[in-house]
Amino acid sequence: MPDSGHHHLLINVDKLPDLKLPIPADSNHLHFGNGQTETELNLPEGKHTLQLLIGNHLHIPHSDPIISEKIEITVK
């Protein structure tokens, strides 16, 4: 389905993945393909960055990528 997809949470990712390839599936790139609207993260104490990136059913970002601003959080 064109222009549809799901979000991926990027955790502590300094550089965006190649936007022409599927978003990696690892502990720094969480996939939410089941329509999840929330999650619980278990991050160690310290500063972390979070960013959302929308990908299609193949986990490839749209040609005009939908990317959130990166935020920084502190876990105490």
Higher-pLDDT residue of 48 and 64 is 48
Which residues span the domain enclosing 70? Answer: 6-75
Helix (H) or strand (E) holding 30: strand 29-32
pTM greater than the 0.85 cutoff: yes
The per-residue pLDDT for 37 is: 87
The per-residue pLDDT for 58 is: 93
Inside any domain, residue 1: no
The per-residue pLDDT for 4 is: 83
- Structural domain total, the chain: 1
**pLDDT band of 1, cuts 50, 70, 90:** low
| 14-59: pLDDT as tens digits | 999 999 999 999 999 999 989 888 999 999 999 999 999 999 999 9
